[in-house]
Structure formats: C-alpha cells, structure tokens
Amino acid sequence: MEKHVVVIYPHPDDEAFGAAGTIASFREQGVPVTYLCGTLGEMGRNMGNPTFANRETLPEIRKQELIAACKVLDMELHMLGYRDKTIEYEDRREVATHLKNILEDLEPSLVITHYPEHAVHPDHNALGAAAIEAVRLMDREKRPVVWAQAITNTHVEDLGMPDVVNDVKDKFDIKMDAILCHKSQASGVIRSWNQSDDMDNDLKEEAKKRLGVEAFYIWKYK
Amino acid sequence: MKPIELDVVQQKLESFIDKDVYVHLETTNGAYASHVNAKAYNVGVYIRNAKIRFNQAKIVGDGKSYRAGLKMDIGWVYAEGLTDFEMFQGEKLLMAGHDREGRLMVALQISETPFNY
C-alpha cells in the first residue's frame, strides 16, 4: 500500500479530469493524498456556460471550485502560486527546488504528474518536467515512484503502452462529482472534445467515453 | 457580464481619455485547439497591465459584435469581436467577446489602477 500520494498538476480541474478515479481509490484504501496545484487557471477561456465568470473574477471562482473538488475527493490541497500559461517561462530549477522542498516535507511514496512533452498544454509539460526534476534532486533512497500521465493523441505510438492502466468506471460517480465542482470549466471542456454540434447533452455519458480509464507511465530514472 | 450597451461603453471609454491607464488585451482559441482538431492552430496573445495613454476612443458595432479602437500618440489599440461588458469594482471597464459556448475569444479591459497580476 502507498504511504502518501502527491498529485502535481498545474490547473484546477486537471486532478478531476486526469486522476480523480485513481485518487478516490487511494483514499478508499486510506492512503493520504495531497494535490499540489500549480496555478489558479487564471487564463482559462471557459467562463461557465452560460457565462458567469470574467477574466478578473475567474481566479477566485476557480480557487473555490478547486477547494470544493478536493473536498469531494477528500484530499489535501496546496496551491503553488504560479500563474496560468507562464510555468514554462519560470526557471525550471527554481520550480523543481520549490517542489522538492514540499516533497521532502510530505515524504510521499508516489508522485503523479504529467509526462513532459507528451501532455499537450505547455503548463502540463513544464510542471511535469519540474516535478520529475524535483524527484531526481532527492536522495536516491528517498525518491518516491513517479507516475507520468501522457495525454497527446499519439502518446501510445510515441511511448508504448502505459505501465499503469486504472479502470476507474467503478469510481465514475465521484469522478464526475469532482469534475462538476469545476462549474466554470466542466461543460466547456467536455463539449470541446466533440467538434460536431450533435453531441449528446448528457455530459456524464460523454465524459465516460473518454475518462473511464486513467493511465500512467512509470518514470525511469537513470 | 452583459451585452454591450454602446452609449454606456462609449461614455466610459471617453472617461479614460488623456489619462495613464492600464490595459489588458487578449485573444485566444484555447490551449487545446489543435489537440481536439488537427486542422486547427493554437493562437493566443495577451498583454496585461500595459500602461498607455490614448486621446481618442470609439466603439463601433452592429448590435451583436463590436470593435473598439483607442488612438494613442504613436499607435493604436484595437479589439474586434467584443460582445459583453461589465464595470468591475466600479472603475475597471471589462469588455469581452464570447462564443456560443460562453468561451472567451477576445478581451479588452481598461483601468486607472493595475489589474491583479
């Protein structure tokens, strides 16, 4: 059994869409889970549908959504204070050291993050790279295992089959509850997957097609 | 935000004339544009808290979508596709254009005090 799991993603809602089922399974086993959330998604373009946020109110709205989602998933939350879309411009080593200090404090047995260069959003790639670097900077015997999540359309042909494939359909209700905590984002994100206009109005069914499995690659340190 | 009311916004724009103001100007089609549609391109730009001064300002449109232009001593600020506006905290003029899903496509915001950063 894991001792403590730390999830490191840049945006409020990455945890819900990417790993909520896996997180719920760990919590069911009594494993503590902490989310290190990089930004408040300040520059998101989804403003709710119908629109209820604006560029200036979005950060606080997403912060409250994040807090609610972490409550649903019963995990601790630590906000890292970076700004949406800018993580790749921060000093990689500085971000890695920031994360390393937190990891040394929490002593997780497992870290979940994005797979650098295979995670679509520049913030995903940059924070994933910093998280992997943070673990590399730790004493070898104290390093947690790292699960890296790739989300490009071509990640299987680029990287092979993921090492960890979690079927989370039995956790789908709680996963959907976590996703729907992100009210300003959920509808827009789910609808964006389907470019045609004939999409099923049932967001949950549409989500299940895509989000029933959470897969990760185990990072191999040389 | 609510649909742009031309007279209200025009009056507000003019209230900023010949003052040092902070501008947030942005357009985006999302970080996932080419992920969800291979034929699409990711395009986005934003500038936040650029300090400018303009001497003319006008908003023009057809009742649904509007364009705003601010004339500066040596240049222009321009935004197209604006649909909604709001006076935020009483003094910040927020204008934005949203698509049918409520997603922000363009924003032009003007304030005498800086926006949070």
> Which is more confidently placed, B92 or A192?
B92
pLDDT of A47 > 80? The answer is yes
**pLDDT higher than 90, residue B83:** yes
Question: Does residue B15 sit in helix, strand or coil?
Answer: helix
Average pLDDT over residues B83-93: 97
What pLDDT does residue A200 have? 57
**Which structural domains are found in chain B, ordered by start?**
2-111 (2.70.180.10)
Q: What's residue B25's pLDDT?
A: 98
Number of C-beta neighbours around residue A162 at 10 A: 20
ipTM above 0.90, yes or no: yes
Q: Return the pLDDT at B45.
A: 96
CA distance A75 to A22: 12
A192 CB near a chain B CB, below 8 Å? yes
B104–A45: do the CB atoms touch at under 8 Å?
Answer: yes
Q: Name every chain A residue with its beta carbon within 8 A of the beta carbon of B104.
A: 45-47, 55
| Residue A57 with chain B: CB contacts under 8 Å | 88
Mean pLDDT across chain A, nearest whole number?
94
Q: What is the value of pTM for the model shown?
A: 0.94
Six-digit token string for A192:
């964006």
Our measurement of the distance from residue B66's CA atom to the centroid of its chain's CA atoms, rounded to an integer in Å, reads 10
Note whether B60 and B67 are within 8 A (CB): yes
Q: What is the pLDDT of residue B30?
A: 82
Contact: B101, A188; criterion CB under 8 Å:
yes
Query: Could you tell me if residue A145 is left (phi over 0), alpha (psi between -120 and 50 degrees) or otherwise beta?
Result: beta
Using one digit for the tens of pLDDT, what is the confidence trace for A79-125? 999 999 999 999 999 999 999 999 999 999 999 999 999 999 999 99
Query: Does the beta carbon of A101 lie under 8 angstroms from any beta carbon of chain B?
Result: no
Asked if B8 reaches chain A (Cβ–Cβ under 8 Å), the answer is no
- Cα torsion at A73, A79, A82, A85 (round to 10°)? 10
Residues in chain A: 222
Q: Report the distance separating Cα A193 and Cα A210, nearest Å.
A: 9
Cβ atoms of A75 and A31 within 8 Å: the answer is: no
Of A217, A179, A208, the closest CA to residue A15 belongs to A179
The type of residue at A39 is T
- Which pLDDT tens digit goes with each residue over A123-156? 999 999 999 999 999 999 999 999 999 999 999 9
Task: Kindly list the structural domains of chain A, giving each domain's residue range(s) and its CATH number in brackets, ordered by start.
Answer: 5-218 (3.40.50.10320)
Cα separation of B44 and A11, whole Å? 18
Distance separating alpha carbons of residues A170 and A164, to the nearest angstrom = 17
Residue B94 touches partner A, C-beta closer than 8 Å: yes
Contact across the interface for A55 and B24, Cβ inside 8 Å: yes
